[in-house]
Chains A and B, each alone.
Chain A
């Protein structure tokens, strides 16, 4: 997508829901777009699928410009995108098999061929026996699996998930995320997941973008955006728990970030010895993301020791470190 902009008229005001969004998702990878309510996520989904036409900008799939397509060409182009909704949006009047077969029915695929494809897809999502059932007989997680099967029916190039797990419980969420992860192996599928759940990004995404106020304010491979003490995505994905009781702790705070093999080494203890002061770990978070371990610790430097010296010593050992003002802590 290039410079995607959507302006809604609301009464007498213009509301800029998307403001020049540019993003490329390579085939064979999973990209997450994360943002709070009102950041423009829903508008982005509607513009990407051309349910709403963007005010300006283009959406291209393998070099084909969807935004330029009209009527028939647009309907054909839409089949290149499989869309999975938060609430699955299955058709209650149709059986599961007929739901999954719907996109094929639209293009007049012969019945026998359709049935074979539907069965193949139901097996892929782990519901081989659910074909004759109706959506109301299935649990939320199963309905979402059917939604995924349906989105895959036309062998799309792009699979777009709109808050796929927001209506599910934690266990079902993990099962659906495992399923999405397993789809990565399916040919040249580019997967785009739009969500407000950090957990989803941590678990399945190769790269991630932060959407705020209709703009992409940060973007990059997961391992790169997390490896920073300043970024908002790093803060969101590897943040110090906000409820850590820091008011009662004395001294000056220093934040330390180390990744990879260094995350497993006793960097703080070593620094303690080098500066000759007892450094106290007051809060921290350690995560295993995209195959790499990240450790983000907040330590307290006792009064009488120069915190800038501590920062320097930490940096010498390959960790990233910075002074953290108490006033900056939320």
Chain B
């Protein structure tokens, strides 16, 4: 029997691995979707309410940027996910399982992604917005037809980085009952000293990250006409 056969005949692995992968994918997909849906508008608002922006609004910008985004980003994820347990229970009815983990994952990733979006928007040459403006665009048209499409390569790269970060966090969420590959590695690999389970979990996570990165890079190239 080779080493691989030993590993694949491990009953714990056979029974626990497929649902763990599934849970991780669910967790990462839902929180990535929520992060993009909320983080993209937040990033746009951060950009346009800033000084000299399309809709300059200092009070709103200070509240969102200095308070909401900076404070959330400065709390380590391990602490944030514990602190959010009551909130999570209120939202999804439980603090256990992959669905519960999506709440803290999203809340940790949204400000991170919003900052990446803001940076991507800042890279759009101000002359393009002047051109949009001078041609009679409304603010909404300037944002949706010019600002976001022009920043799209940067935004896609930001989404890729964010999804990879969420995958990393999701393993941590597994430790406090979030499920997925993180819990598999901790319960079997660490607590039961199964080196094989530990190694295989790590390999699978690395493969998922590589696939996400490759897909992200490919899409980014497709939308980049610069």
Contact = CB atoms under 8 A, between A and B. Distances in A.
Interface stretch (B65-73, B143-151, B160-168, B188-196): B143-151
Interface stretch (B7-15, B40-48, B132-140): B132-140
Interface residues of B, number: 21
- Give the interface centre of B130, B136, B138 by most chain A CB atoms within 10 Å: B136
Given A90-B128, A106-B145, 7 more contacts: A78-B134, A79-B136, A83-B131, A87-B125, A92-B226, A105-B145, A106-B137
Given A85-B130, A102-B145, A93 B135 contact: no
A89 B133 CA distance: 12
Interface in B117-134: 125, 127-128, 130-134
A90 B129 CA distance: 10
B94 interface: no
A81 B146 CA distance: 20
Contacts of A81: 134
Interface in A53-95: 75-76, 78-79, 81, 83, 85, 87, 89-94
A103 B145 CA distance: 11
Given A94-B149, A134-B225, A136-B225, A89 B135 contact: no
B135 A78 contact: yes
A136 B226 contact: yes
B156 to A, nearest CB: 12
Interface of A: 49, 51, 75-76, 78-79, 81, 83, 85, 87, 89-94, 102-103, 105-107, 134-136, 150, 154
Contacts of B134: 49, 51, 78, 81, 83
A154 B134 CA distance: 12
15 contacts: A75-B136, A83-B131, A83-B134, A85-B130, A89-B127, A89-B131, A91-B128, A91-B132, A91-B150, A93-B149, A103-B135, A103-B136, A106-B136, A106-B145, A136-B226
A106 B132 CA distance: 10
A78 B136 contact: yes
A92 B131 contact: no
Contacts of A106: 135-137, 141, 145
A173 B226 CA distance: 24
- Give the interface centre of A90, A102, A150 by most chain B CB atoms within 10 Å: A102
Given A78-B135, A102-B145, A89 B223 contact: no
A136 B149 CA distance: 15
